Structure 1
Amino acid sequence: MKKNVLIIGAGGVAHVAAHKAAMNNDVLGDICIASRTLSKCDEIIESVLRKGHLKDPANRLYSRQLDALDIPATVKLIQETNSGIVINLGAAFINMSVLEACLETGAVYMDTAIHEEPDKVCETPPWYANYEWKRKDRCAEKGLTAILGVGFDPGVVNAYCALAAKRYFDQIDTIDILDVNAGSHGKYFATNFDPEINFREFIKVWTWIDRQWKEYPTHSVKRVYDFPVVGPCPIYLNGHDELHSLSKNIDANSIRFWMGFGDHYINVFTVLRTLGFLSHLPVTLTTGQEVVPLKVVKALFPDPKTLAPGYTGKTCIGNFVKGWKDGKPREVFIYQVSDHKQCYEEVESQGISYTAGVPPVAAAMLVAQGIWDPKTMVNVEELDPEPFIAILDRIGLPTEVKEIQPGGQESFDGSVRELAQELAESTATVTVSAANPMIALAPKSPKN
């Protein structure tokens, strides 16, 4: 059993994780929040205390300054804080440095996203094989538990895949992971998590179809699906972290990921990308100064944490699974709905950060209790999903399971047609005003 948690990072997801860890510190012990900017860590602690979320005041909640790319410094901090569990919620660029520190100290390692190198985007699948899985043998040799991608997607959706295989299907045909945010933050344009990481995800689309990797242009395949609670939303075929492990660990013919984007998002994204502002590679200005366009865009955008107070609406994320049970076709939608306003009222966060920040704490609780402790490197779908989902139900992310009539009106068809046909239908129409850009966000007039 492990106790004492080191949370690395001080963004929106770390904010939620700190609240939830404090609310369960009778299980988790001391909690240290570490980041390059100490004041951000202290702001999180102030929020936790303001909401009265420190369950056991005998256990510490404190902050430390850390550059997590500095492996010796991270090793020293793990040792000084006597942390048995490290939850890495910093930028994806630090994953391997933090993992190396855990390998040296024996602390359990967790993260919520696949590792990235600054000069590479959307790497050749399976992406995990390029970095994380190369260290799997070392984790096994040392008996080190490393749980990869334990946010919501990746994370909870991986557990939903494992649950589908365990409880609902004898044989799975397709899994379509659907992620939609039907909320409104009131800004002209903003991303719900780190803009740099957000935009890097959408450079190209790698998806798993007919048991092989296929590449498609970004936002080239569009569907509209009528989601529970949030209603009809446009969604686009995208690549995503979880596909890179699910393709290996889940026996299914096709596993695809779809994300919701409104027409306004598509419009702004397309203009930025076309003009080169989303490039992750440096350019030289006429002054001789070198800048990375994507980092400039990030600096201009609102901090995702600042969106929380006025955010309204709901999110819906889940897995639409098709296959067979007892010789009969079956379709099931396993999903979770969160409300932005309720998330803010509880932990002073918006819903996207909430859905990503709660799961690593649930996983840490399972590790602390000795329920999840594989003593090697695993992705979430390799672990028993039921105790994980049970804790999520209790601490803020209740799961719903909906039976769907096979081929009926509520069914989802994720099969991809010829690209020319898909491109013709993947359009976005936006009305804008040069004098008042917010017109682009105005509700459309009802049709007569």
Structure 2
Amino acid sequence: MGKRNILLLGAGGVSHVAAHKLAQNNDLFGDIYLASRSLENCEQILESIERKKNYKNTSKKIQIRQIDALNIPEMVKLMKDLKISITVNLVSVFCNMSILEACIETGSAYIDTAIHEEPNKVCEDPPWYANYEWKRKDRCQDKCITAILGAGFDPGVVNAYVAYAKRHFFDDIDTIDIMDVNAGNHGRYFSTNFDPEINFREFVKVWTWIDRQWVCKPIHSEKKVYDFPVVGKQTIYLTGHDEIHSLSKNIDANSIRFWMGFSDHYINCFNVLKNIGLLSEKPVRTAEGVEVVPLKVVKACLPDPKTLAPYYRGKTCIGDLIVGTKDGHRKEFLIYSVCDHRFCYEEVESQAISYTAGTPVIAAAILIAKGDWDVKKMVNVEELVPDPYLDLLKDMGISTETMTI
């Protein structure tokens, strides 16, 4: 069997990193394509790859195509014409179902980094995967389609961390606290690190898994200070997040929570925007009769996350604090990764938030291409053997550290 052709969809900050990682590993694939609605954005990514001299095989360049990822017939035609057998979805989460449908129809493996959302629905009832992706599980299995859901960092690597800890360090797990802090500074007054529209839609209400049931709490109503490796003491807030929705089903644990770090300044800006209605996804009409969506206006006013990279300094720390038992004794264990913004920019002209999301998804694609993760069914990352994933990530720039507390 020849090497498999791969299609990378999207040309944002995470796709920028993913394309660099594909270039660095282009000997492992057949033809590599980058597709987006914006050919200009694709061209900018390819220019960056050339600047950094990141093609492993310099005679085998990434090719670009223009595509509307919501148009299923157009997607199917493109994938058939290019003989695509692995598709990496890094466009808006609003497109997940159309891309997955195209993969099921053409036989391509599918990888994404976040749960599907509908533009007019925010924070639906949990578990979120059951609303969309998991409804296609039987069809994927019937057609032997490998579909790996949530294969970025969180979700993704943090799910692999749980599987790794369960496999090597615990007999039973009581609590899982996933913690994500960005201790970097980009110098702008206010910005999100990835798509503002998707970012703010997360912060409507908190769905969390406590004592084996779903609990809904107000956003930013619970916080604590945790002393992280390398980046030190950081304030983190209980937040709803994608990975809880699969881990609650696939991992036998009493409580699973997600915590994200925010500065006081971020919280103040967020509260002002929220309290005056600018984070609403519902259309409003201006005095001039123009219909606008407030959240989209805020997105248009904020910096494009890609533009933050040259100015970022500092580090991120993301990991899982897991409490359980081993050989009859209580065990508290931290498994985590630290990433440096400046290192990321020097390697791929990106900041660490995009780097930690874009690198793992290509690691997953490599494992599919090699056969290790080509499981011919739909899975979340914690259902897969984590060791080859974490080993490969170390070679690709994301190392894993562990400590018993």
- The interval holding the TM-score normalised by the smaller chain is over 0.9
1:2-41 equivalences under 5 Å are 3-41=4-42
Q: Which residue of 1 aligns with 2:57?
A: 56
Alignment of 1:389 with 2:397, yes or no, is no
1:264-413 equivalences under 5 Å are 264-404=265-405
SS in 1 for 2:177: strand
Mapped partners of 2:351, 2:61: distance in 1: 26
How far did residue 280 of structure 1 move? 0.5
Mapped partners of 1:131, 1:301: distance in 2: 30
How far did residue 384 of structure 1 move? 0.3
Q: Which runs of 4+ in 1 moved over 2 A?
A: 57-60
AA aligned opposite 2:57:
D
CA contact (8 A) 1:28 1:364 kept: no
How far did residue 288 of structure 1 move? 1.7
Q: Which residue of 2 aligns with 1:86?
A: 87
How far did residue 3 of structure 1 move? 1.2
AA aligned opposite 1:160:
Y
How far did residue 352 of structure 1 move? 0.1
Mapped partners of 2:30, 2:269: distance in 1: 45
How far did residue 30 of structure 1 move? 2.0
Mapped partners of 1:352, 1:37: distance in 2: 22
CA deviation string 1:278-303 (max 9, x = no partner): 00111111222111000000000000
Q: Which residue of 2 aligns with 1:237?
A: 238
Percent identity over the alignment is 66
CA contact (8 A) 2:70 2:98 kept: yes
Q: Which residue of 1 aligns with 2:134?
A: 133
Q: Which residue of 1 aligns with 2:96?
A: 95
SS in 2 for 1:134: helix
CA deviation string 1:198-252 (max 9, x = no partner): 0000000000000000010000000000100000000000000000000000010
- Compute the TM-score of the two structures, normalised by the length of structure 1: 0.89
How far did residue 159 of structure 1 move? 0.4
CA contact (8 A) 1:12 1:193 kept: yes
Mapped partners of 1:5, 1:377: distance in 2: 18
CA contact (8 A) 1:29 1:60 kept: no
Mapped partners of 1:164, 1:251: distance in 2: 13
CA contact (8 A) 1:211 1:254 kept: yes
Mapped partners of 1:356, 1:84: distance in 2: 22
AA aligned opposite 1:318:
G
Q: Which residue of 1 aligns with 2:170?
A: 169
Mapped partners of 1:201, 1:293: distance in 2: 16
Q: Which residue of 2 aligns with 1:257?
A: 258
SS in 2 for 1:84: strand
CA contact (8 A) 2:23 2:61 kept: no
CA deviation string 1:61-108 (max 9, x = no partner): 111111100011111111222221100000100000000000010010
SS in 2 for 1:337: strand
CA deviation string 1:375-426 (max 9, x = no partner): 011000000000000000110100001111xxxxxxxxxxxxxxxxxxxxxx
AA aligned opposite 1:95:
N
How far did residue 60 of structure 1 move? 3.5
Q: Which residue of 2 aligns with 1:106?
A: 107
Mapped partners of 1:381, 1:349: distance in 2: 27
Mapped partners of 2:332, 2:201: distance in 1: 33
CA contact (8 A) 2:39 2:65 kept: yes
Mapped partners of 1:382, 1:96: distance in 2: 21
Bigger CA radius of gyration: 1
How far did residue 28 of structure 1 move? 2.1
Mapped partners of 2:60, 2:209: distance in 1: 45
SS in 1 for 2:391: helix
- Compute the TM-score of the two structures, normalised by the length of structure 2: 0.99
CA contact (8 A) 2:339 2:352 kept: yes
SS in 2 for 1:219: coil
Mapped partners of 1:80, 1:204: distance in 2: 43
AA aligned opposite 2:137:
K
Mapped partners of 2:200, 2:374: distance in 1: 34
SS in 1 for 2:242: coil
SS in 1 for 2:84: coil
